[in-house]
């Protein structure tokens, strides 16, 4: 069985974001196809899209899985659904968002999935938490996460706690 190293960007800004992120972590802990689950600290960040929404709480989860990419995406979307995620507006408010950032070092382009996630390099709320749990992970621009995290503009990103 081949194990793939995966990183998932996590965000929420409706309801109780910290509790929802912790709950998503719990779901993954209980999934038999997930191993060696770890999480970054929790961070508060300003919204990327419309500014008339609450600030976000973000984190990055890392784990190993034997799942292929689309079944993994299905699992992540199932967890979002269990947390009452409604997809209305791009970059709109949400109860839970789980974005597959990396699936080993593979590049995937399909109707449902693009990996590495295309927005990684402009999202401090992804780069900085990723650097915390995978400092030497190589980003799409060839930089290691920790080196890039030192350069990225933080836009009021604040560490607020842990899982």
Secondary structure letter of residue 121 according to DSSP: G
For residue 91, is pLDDT > 60? no
- Measured from the Cβ of residue 70, the count of other Cβ atoms closer than 10 Å reads 12
pLDDT band of residue 2 (cuts 50, 70, 90) is confident
State pTM to two decimals.
0.93
Query: Which residue among 74, 87, 99, 112 is the active-site one?
Result: 99
pLDDT band of residue 70 (cuts 50, 70, 90) is very high
Distance (Å, rounded) from C-alpha 86 to C-alpha 136? 34
pLDDT band of residue 41 (cuts 50, 70, 90) is very high
Question: Is 85 part of the annotated catalytic residue set?
Answer: yes
What distance lies between CA 158 and its chain's CA centroid?
16
Sketch the domain layout of the chain as residue ranges.
4-161
Question: Is 74 part of the annotated catalytic residue set?
Answer: no
Question: Is 99 part of the annotated catalytic residue set?
Answer: yes
Question: Is 22 part of the annotated catalytic residue set?
Answer: no
pLDDT of residue 154: 87
Q: Which of 73-77, 83-87, 145-149 has the lowest mean pLDDT?
A: 83-87
User: What does the block give as tokens for 65?
Assistant: 């899985």
Q: For residue range 103-154, what is the model confidence (pLDDT) as tens digits?
A: 999 999 999 999 999 889 999 999 999 999 999 999 999 999 999 999 999 8
For 45, the 3-state DSSP assignment is strand
pLDDT of residue 95: 83
Fold of 4-161: Alpha-Beta Plaits (3.30.70)
Query: Which residue among 22, 52, 68, 85 is the active-site one?
Result: 85
């Amino acid at each position: 069985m081949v194990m793939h190293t995966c990183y998932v960007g996590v965000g929420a800004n409706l309801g109780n974001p910290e509790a929802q992120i912790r709950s998503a972590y719990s779901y993954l802990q209980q999934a038999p196809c997930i191993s060696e689950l770890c999480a970054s600290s929790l961070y508060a960040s300003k919204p990327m899209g419309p500014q008339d929404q609450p600030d976000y709480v973000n984190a990055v989860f890392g784990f190993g899985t034997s799942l292929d990419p689309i079944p993994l995406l299905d699992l992540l979307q199932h967890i979002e659904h269990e947390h009452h995620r409604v997809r209305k507006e791009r970059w709109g408010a949400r109860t839970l968002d789980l974005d597959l950032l990396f699936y080993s070092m593979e590049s995937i382009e399909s109707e449902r999935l693009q990996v590495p996630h295309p927005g990684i390099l402009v999202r401090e709320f992804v780069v900085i938490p990723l650097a915390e749990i995978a400092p030497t992970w190589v980003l799409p621009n060839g930089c290691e996460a920790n080196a890039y995290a030192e350069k990225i503009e933080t836009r009021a990103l604040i560490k607020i706690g842990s899982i």
